[in-house]
Amino acid sequence: MRKKRSSQSRLKKDVLEKSLCTGCGACVGLCPYQAVYKDRTVQLFDCDLPDGKCRAFCPRTPSDLPLLRERLFDASDATDEIGPVKEYWLTRAKDEGLRSRAQHGGTVTALLGLAMSEGWIDAAIVSGRLDGREPEGLLIDRAEELADYAQSRFWAAPTVAAFHRAPESGAGRLGIVATPCQAIALAKIRTAKIDGYRKGGSLSLVIGLFCGWTLALDRFQNLLEKYQLSASALTGMDIPAGKNVLELRTAGGSANVPMDEVDSCVREACRCCVDSTAEFADLSVGAARFGANPEEMRGWNQVIVRSGAGQKLVSLARQRGVLEFREAPPPALVELKNAAAEKKKKALVRIIAKSRSPKNLLYLNPDDPVVRKYLK
């Protein structure tokens, strides 16, 4: 009988060597064999386990996405472009101090703080600051500390690895802020049926972030040198509405980098991603960007409520006055769906170019109805 290839060797061939690794950390923290080094996932030792969790949880190994949707969401909420939608709102944190420290409206931080104060979660996992070290996910168990991590960094942090390590800290129910690829990994973890594995039950809340791409840190650091900056000195980053630049903020001021230069720093894996709105999260949050007057929406978030848990949390935020709400004008959702559909189409073109066959979509199933729609 032919010996089955190990999960690690398949992960190396099908993900790492094809430049599909997103740096999410789903394969790290499970055992000593996988690690993150200088913004790259590396395999330190050989492992012959044929059905390892490292491959099972990776968002870039073949996944039964229709089954994940069926298990996690109501079928009546499904949309092809942006996943399940129960509700769609414009929101921002009621606390003006929090808004001033947050990336846009402060919605994510406000919701995490509410979930923690209400006892829905015992701790939250967020992306930590660089501070001269590797990007990392951090476990925060004090609500007042969450605002320290409210600014976005556009590079990948292995926050799913922090989830795997969480039992060492004694944390119970966990919430996590996730990019789209991380949300898929967490959906796999939540629905995993692996003998002896029960960790997914501690994952009580996933707040997804809208995401178009992340930066390969080594290439980005080289670009920063041109502008006499360092990654550890950045206090925030943003793409201002209506401007084709990446704004880099430091304690001493800001600099605008043309997106043509930034594009060379985008991770290759991001170009093969079909999800821009974290479709497998309980709720997803992004900056409000639409309409003829971008300034009108400055400081507000778009929020897609996807699951029952997400709906309860957003409803509680309204009751407690934690968030301010605005009705989104109909064109907003249309524009968001159109943008998400374009990302799917472009990603599928790149996937086919990489695999050299429309029948081989790497980590996607050509029979998935959503994928099939955009293959046309």
| Bigger pLDDT: 182 vs 103 | 182
| Position 267 pLDDT exceeds 80 | yes
Above pLDDT 70, what percent of the chain? 95
User: Domain extents for the chain?
Assistant: 63-216+267-375, 217-263
3 burial (CB, 10 Å; 0-12 / 13-18 / 19+) is: exposed
| Position 276 pLDDT exceeds 60 | yes
Q: Give yes or no for a contact between 79 and 284, defined as CB atoms under 8 angstroms apart.
A: no
User: What are the distances in angstroms from CA 118 to CA 158, 261, 313, 352?
Assistant: 27, 44, 10, 47
Give the max Cα distance, the chain. Answer: 66
Q: Give yes or no for a contact between 351 and 361, defined as CB atoms under 8 angstroms apart.
A: yes
pLDDT tens-digit profile of 48-68?
888 899 999 999 999 899 999
Please report which confidence band the pLDDT of residue 3 belongs to, taking 50, 70 and 90 as the band edges.
low
What phi, psi does 219 have (nearest 5°)? -70, -35
| Position 188 pLDDT exceeds 50 | yes
User: Domain 63-216+267-375, CATH 3.30.200 — does that match?
Assistant: no
* CB neighbour burial string for 8-46, b if at least 16 within 10 angstroms, e if fewer: bebbbebbbebebbbbbbbbbbbbebbbbeebebebeee
| Position 223 pLDDT exceeds 50 | yes
| Position 178 pLDDT exceeds 70 | yes
Q: Give yes or no for a contact between 278 and 340, defined as CB atoms under 8 angstroms apart.
A: no
Tell me the HSE value of 18 on the side-chain side, using a 13 A CA sphere. Answer: 23
Other Cβ atoms within 10 Å of 230 Cβ, number: 13
- Specify the pTM: 0.95
| Position 1 pLDDT exceeds 50 | no
| Bigger pLDDT: 130 vs 152 | 152
What is the dihedral sign for C-alpha 154, 272, 159, 305? Answer: positive
Please report which confidence band the pLDDT of residue 10 belongs to, taking 50, 70 and 90 as the band edges.
very high
CA distance 150 to 153: 10
Please report which confidence band the pLDDT of residue 313 belongs to, taking 50, 70 and 90 as the band edges.
very high
CA distance 60 to 273: 9
| Position 19 pLDDT exceeds 70 | yes
What is the dihedral sign for C-alpha 340, 342, 348, 353? Answer: negative
351's enclosing H/E stretch is: helix 330-355
Other Cβ atoms within 10 Å of 233 Cβ, number: 16
pLDDT tens-digit profile of 317-338?
999 999 999 998 888 899 999 9
What is the dihedral sign for C-alpha 103, 106, 112, 117? Answer: positive
CA distance 215 to 200: 29
User: Domain 217-263, CATH 3.10.450.750 — does that match?
Assistant: yes
Please report which confidence band the pLDDT of residue 169 belongs to, taking 50, 70 and 90 as the band edges.
low
| Position 292 pLDDT exceeds 60 | no
Q: Give yes or no for a contact between 199 and 185, defined as CB atoms under 8 angstroms apart.
A: no
Query: What is the DSSP track for 270-313?
Result: GGG---SS-TTSSEEEEE---SS-HHHHTT-EEEEE-SHHHHHH
pLDDT tens-digit profile of 333-360?
999 999 999 999 999 999 999 999 999 9
CA distance 292 to 192: 45
Tokens representing 246 are 């990446």
pLDDT tens-digit profile of 73-116?
999 999 999 999 999 999 999 999 999 888 889 999 999 999 99
